[in-house]
Structure 1
Amino acid sequence: MKITEWVSKDKRLSWTRKGGIVLVAFLERVTVEHNVARLAELACLAHVDLLNQLRRFTKARVLGRRTDLDVVPAEDHFWLSTERVDRARALLQQADDADLRELVAERGLDIDRALGDFSTQQPYAVALGKALRDARIASGSSQAEIAEKAPTLSNTELSAFENGHALPTLITLAELAHIYKVDADELIVRAACHSKPDKQVLALRVAEPTFRAVLTHQFAVRRVRELARQKAQSPKAATSKNS
């Protein structure tokens, strides 16, 4: 088969939008296992396009996969676990545009339902604070107990992080994640998923969710430091003006 025969005549179906269609199909049916035939029915994509996207998301560990060896020929099944929903939504948001929404609607799928509460207006620091608090509570520890386990952190600092009044460095975040026995990248990806998208990061068109989340965190830390610097200098500026 020639490569030209693999390409759909619909020019809207770019590589990214094909992936977006597949992600919507899974996000509407989280934890449900699908075989390739069922997915082809949902996504309405050429067989080769569907398989390429399934390989892509399985390799990126967004989708789970198992092979049923009791069936001849062996049949593959794919699913999206609840733990990977935020990663899937992060990728879907990168593909979200008017053409994708048209393609999804034509297939009877709902992109807004798939995105859920992914895109909100809360600041990143607040979203990260909630993620840190949830992780601490899930570990069964109090703020005081965590402060004892992390000598470089005080109870006051931890409280400021959880309330979204301050941002930890990536090293501190990794230290807290280790104590809570969770992955640090899961914390920042979740926060980036549930906060107002950072315009600076979106302008860079970063698709990889973890890298995008790290950039969001770093930009947020820089803004916090800049605001603190301006606040510290403002009284001096006012004094010099009065004199």
Structure 2
Amino acid sequence: MKIIDNVPKDSRLTWNRRGGLVLTALLTRVGRQLTTGRLVRLTGLTTADVGKQAARFAKAGVLSRRTDLDACPAKDYFRLPKGSVTKARTQLQLVDDEVLRELAEERGLDVDTAFGQFPERQPYATALGKALRTVREDLGWSLKDVEKLVPVSTATMSNFETGGRLPTLITLAELARAYGADVVELIVHAACHSQPDKKVQRLRIADPTFRAVLTHLYAAHDQRERARLRVTQPQGVTTQAS
């Protein structure tokens, strides 16, 4: 989506950062309806700025306008559907930097509070493991049942579900197929319910699926590196805590 190139009065407030402030305000109140006036007070921006950003996110499908005209004018109310939280959080991550944090705090907002909708600041592998376990348990399957359908041992599956080991993307796709689940939804869910990977953030990838795939690949690489260091580290030598 093309964003109008316009220089705001505050040189630190790029259009992305303005949008970040609006989304921060919205994410702290997921599922609640907000008037334009309320958003103006929450963000400390002008009515025109908030209106433009809200319209931008409505066009992108992140926000919905209320259409119950009997209750209130649609133009005055915006809603963030719970199903749009992942998309909104992805957008916010793209503008999450130190300047945005400073601006948000000046206006009584907090990016971390916004991310409170995803309280598990956990490693990606842990989040993916929880998602896999939840899907399996919802089916009423045991690890033995999975072993009959996918060439993965119960011990390995247990490691996957505890986050001790990451499945390859191919294995993950096979598991998702056996579970009747969407593999894309699994990795995007895990990426959005885990600590953001700074290496992925630096790449500034807008597509949430590609971001999730990169998060998975980086996490797998990090696991392999930790395993390699454990093997090559001389016995009796310990690394100093950072």
Q: If the length of structure 2 is used for normalisation, what is the TM-score?
A: 0.74
Other-structure match for 2:95: 95
- Runs of 5+ consecutive residues of structure 1 not aligned to the other structure: 235-243
- Deviation, 1:30, is 1.3
Task: Spell out the pairing of 1:33-52 with structure 2 (5 A cutoff).
Answer: 33-52=33-52
Task: Spell out the pairing of 1:203-242 with structure 2 (5 A cutoff).
Answer: 203-225=202-224
Please identify, of 222-231 and 88-97, the stretch whose mean Cα deviation from structure 2 is larger.
222-231
- Deviation, 1:121, is 6.3
Other-structure match for 1:57: 57
Relative to structure 1, is the Cα distance of residues 10 and 93 closer, same or farther in structure 2, using a 3 angstrom cutoff?
same
What CA distance in whole angstroms lies between the structure 2 residues aligned with 1:99 and 1:226? 33
Contact 2:188 2:209 in 1 (8 A): yes
Task: Spell out the pairing of 1:107-146 with structure 2 (5 A cutoff).
Answer: 107-116=107-116, 118=118, 122-146=122-146
Contact 1:91 1:208 in 2 (8 A): no
Contact 1:68 1:75 in 2 (8 A): no
Which residue identity does 1:101 align to in structure 2?
R
Paired residues, number: 232
Which residue identity does 2:214 align to in structure 1?
L
Percent identity over the alignment is: 53
Other-structure match for 1:166: 165
Relative to structure 1, is the Cα distance of residues 140 and 222 closer, same or farther in structure 2, using a 3 angstrom cutoff?
same
- Deviation, 1:33, is 1.6
Other-structure match for 2:15: 15
Contact 1:87 1:189 in 2 (8 A): no
- Deviation, 1:14, is 0.8
- Runs of 5+ consecutive residues of structure 2 not aligned to the other structure: 233-242
- Deviation, 1:174, is 3.3
Q: If the length of structure 1 is used for normalisation, what is the TM-score?
A: 0.74
Which residue identity does 1:16 align to in structure 2?
N
- Deviation, 1:182, is 4.5
Q: Secondary structure at the match of 1:78?
A: strand
Relative to structure 1, is the Cα distance of residues 57 and 137 closer, same or farther in structure 2, using a 3 angstrom cutoff?
farther
Relative to structure 1, is the Cα distance of residues 64 and 142 closer, same or farther in structure 2, using a 3 angstrom cutoff?
farther
- Deviation, 1:37, is 3.9
What CA distance in whole angstroms lies between the structure 2 residues aligned with 1:198 and 1:32? 29
Contact 1:89 1:118 in 2 (8 A): no
Other-structure match for 2:237: none
Which residue identity does 1:138 align to in structure 2?
D
Contact 1:129 1:164 in 2 (8 A): yes
Q: Deviations over 1:71-120 (max 9, x none)?
A: 79653643223344344334323322333233223333233311227587
Q: CA RMSD of the aligned region, Å?
A: 3.6
Contact 1:67 1:76 in 2 (8 A): no
Which residue identity does 2:20 align to in structure 1?
G
